[in-house]
């Protein structure tokens, strides 16, 4: 189809990992790949998805006969099984796909078992890369928006959207001239929230209350963050520790979660003025972008792909503020902001700082399951007022 939205963007060719000498490619599968090889599918990329990886791992484990296995620790034994499985998979997949070598068809292994959930993120990453390379960058953005397994890819996509739109103009004010800072923030806010694709039927993330929360989070930077450039806080562990601290202090599972800054911080005058470039305004705008992104990353952890409630959103905001990450982020922004020039030539420097901070504190998909397992129950099914 001519319209990008009507096209097929990629094909996942799903095949169960063969065991006990079985064939990887059945006749119909080979015929499909031959069609691709002959150009019938045009530029549409194909990714082979090897399913039921957990059963294949069990098979590999049963067939191990190394005499020194008894001396291995549990972790070392798991590593040995994975190494053997990867070697066998390469042999199983490389040979039958060799006849289609011109297609450059990648493969990814997946399983629905919790211990292998991180593998789905690799499938998503490969898919996004291939769609961007062979179809269109706009389609790859929608791939990233649709997926809910890799927060790091969400951040990468936010950066890509920001680069193409408004972030590069922050240090020269060219894009926002004549508009209030609040109106400019709402544009940035909408762009970032859309990328995360939360289940938010009540539009809590677009509400005036949540935007007010975000401005007060940014204003929190003005009460005295101290930069510690030699220290890097691990985002995931910092967030989980803060969440545990907040939930353990609740008087009961239904006790409301309090975001402490709501009543004590007055929204800054800078929000209501027409955007006028200054170091203070630039610092606040950088902080808004980074704070919102990292709060949404925290929300990704605590929401567990469920429908959002105000209680869950408040927990994400409160735990970000309580975590060592927010102080570290604000400190780094304050330190770098002192050296940023204010001119059109400074746009790239500003963009680089935003990108560096967002990448520095992004979570790896492989760590998600372990972090979620450490989050205590907090009554996410309940809701409460802002």
pLDDT digits (tens, 9 = 90+) for 74-124: 778 888 888 888 888 888 877 777 777 666 788 899 988 877 777 888 999
Residue 386 lies in a domain: no
Q: How confident is the model at residue 227 (pLDDT cuts 50, 70, 90)?
A: very low
pLDDT at residue 131 tops 90: yes
DSSP 215-235: HHHHHGGGGT----TT----H
Q: What is the pLDDT of residue 300?
A: 94
Query: CA 167, CA 187: separation in Å to the nearest integer?
Result: 11
Structural domain boundaries, residue 221: 151-373
Note the pLDDT of residue 233: 64
Would you say residue 187 has pLDDT above 70? yes
Contact (Cβ atoms closer than 8 angstroms) between residue 266 and residue 330: no
pLDDT band at 153 (very low <50, low <70, confident <90, very high): very high
Domain shared by 121 and 189, yes or no:
no
125 shares its domain with 177 = no
Region 350-363 average pLDDT: 89
Domain membership flag for residue 383 = no
| pLDDT value, residue 320 | 94
Q: How confident is the model at residue 263 (pLDDT cuts 50, 70, 90)?
A: very low
Distances 370 to 73, 138, 366 between C-alpha atoms, Å: 20, 32, 8
Q: Are residues 135 and 63 in the same domain?
A: yes
Give residue 70's pLDDT. 66
pLDDT at 59 over 50: yes
Residues 111 and 185 occupy one common structural domain: no
Q: Are 163 and 351 in contact (CB under 8 A)?
A: yes
Question: 165 or 232: which carries more pLDDT confidence?
Answer: 165
Residue 220: which residues within 8 A CB-CB, separation 6 or more? 261, 265, 321, 326, 330
Shared-domain flag, residues 214 and 105: no
Q: What per-residue confidence (pLDDT) applies to 114?
A: 76
Q: What pLDDT score was predicted for residue 42?
A: 87
- Looking at the structure, tell me whether residues 10 and 82 fall in a common domain: yes
Task: Describe the strand order of the beta sheet including 11-16 as a list of residue ranges.
Answer: 11-16, 46-51, 107-109
In a domain, 384, yes or no: no
Whether residues 174 and 44 share a domain: the answer is no
Last residue of a domain, one of 103, 122, 146: 146
Q: How far apart are CA 381 and CA 307, in angstroms?
A: 9
Residues 298 and 352 in one domain: yes
In a domain, 382, yes or no: no
Mark which of 93, 125, 146 sits at the end of a domain: 146
Residue 141 sits in the same domain as residue 169: no
How far apart, in whole angstroms, are the C-alpha atoms of residue 14 and residue 341? 52
Q: What is the pLDDT of residue 126?
A: 93
pLDDT tens per residue across span 9-31: 999 999 988 876 677 888 888 89
| Total tally of structural domains belonging to the chain | 2
Residue 335 pLDDT class (50, 70, 90 cuts): confident
Check whether residue 95 and residue 157 sit in a common domain.
Answer: no
Q: What percent of the chain has pLDDT over 90?
A: 31
Asked if residue 66 is part of any domain, the answer here is: yes
Q: The domain that contains 81 carries what CATH number?
A: 3.40.50
Does the residue 379 lie in any domain?
no
Q: Indicate whether 236 and 266 sit together in one domain.
A: yes
Residue 81: inside a domain: yes
Same domain, 126 and 163: no
Among 85, 115, 146, the domain boundary falls at 146
Is 385 part of a structural domain of the chain? no
pLDDT average, residue stretch 290-309: 93
DSSP, collapsed to helix, strand or coil, labels residue 48 as strand
- The model carries a pTM of 0.84
């Amino acid at each position: 189809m001519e319209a990008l939205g009507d096209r097929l963007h990629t094909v996942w060719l799903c095949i169960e990992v063969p065991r006990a000498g079985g064939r990887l490619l059945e006749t119909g599968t080979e015929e499909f790949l031959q069609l691709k090889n002959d150009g019938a599918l045009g530029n549409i990329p194909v990714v082979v998805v090897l399913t039921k990886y957990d059963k294949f791992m069990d098979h590999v484990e049963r067939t191990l006969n190394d005499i020194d296995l008894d001396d291995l620790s549990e972790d070392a034994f798991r590593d040995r099984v994975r190494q053997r499985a990867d070697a066998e998979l390469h042999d199983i997949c490389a040979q039958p796909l060799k006849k289609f070598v011109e297609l450059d068809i990648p493969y990814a292994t997946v399983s629905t078992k919790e211990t292998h959930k991180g593998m789905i993120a690799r499938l998503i990453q490969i898919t996004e890369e291939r769609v961007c390379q062979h179809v269109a960058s706009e389609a790859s953005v929608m791939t990233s928006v649709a997926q809910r397994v890799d927060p790091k890819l969400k951040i990468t996509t936010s950066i890509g959207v920001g680069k193409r739109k408004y972030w590069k103009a922050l240090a020269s004010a060219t894009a926002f001239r004549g508009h209030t800072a609040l109106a400019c923030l709402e544009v940035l806010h909408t762009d970032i929230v859309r990328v995360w694709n939360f289940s938010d039927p009540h539009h809590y993330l677009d509400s005036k209350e949540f935007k007010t929360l975000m401005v007060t989070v940014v204003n929190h930077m003005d009460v005295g963050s101290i930069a510690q450039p030699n220290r890097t806080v691990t985002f995931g562990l910092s967030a989980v520790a803060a969440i545990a601290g907040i939930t353990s202090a609740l008087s009961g599972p239904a006790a409301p979660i309090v975001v402490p800054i709501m009543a004590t911080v007055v929204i800054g005058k800078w929000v209501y003025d027409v955007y006028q470039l200054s170091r203070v305004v630039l610092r606040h705008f950088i902080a808004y972008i980074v704070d919102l992104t990292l709060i949404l990353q925290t929300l990704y952890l605590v929401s567990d792909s469920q429908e959002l409630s105000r209680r869950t959103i408040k927990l994400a905001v409160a735990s970000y503020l309580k975590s060592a990450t927010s102080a570290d982020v604000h400190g780094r922004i304050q330190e770098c902001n002192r050296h940023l020039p204010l001119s059109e030539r400074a746009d790239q420097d500003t963009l680089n700082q935003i990108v560096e901070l967002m990448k520095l504190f992004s979570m790896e998909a492989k760590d998600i399951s372990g972090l979620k397992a450490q989050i205590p129950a907090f009554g996410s099914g309940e809701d409460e007022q802002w």
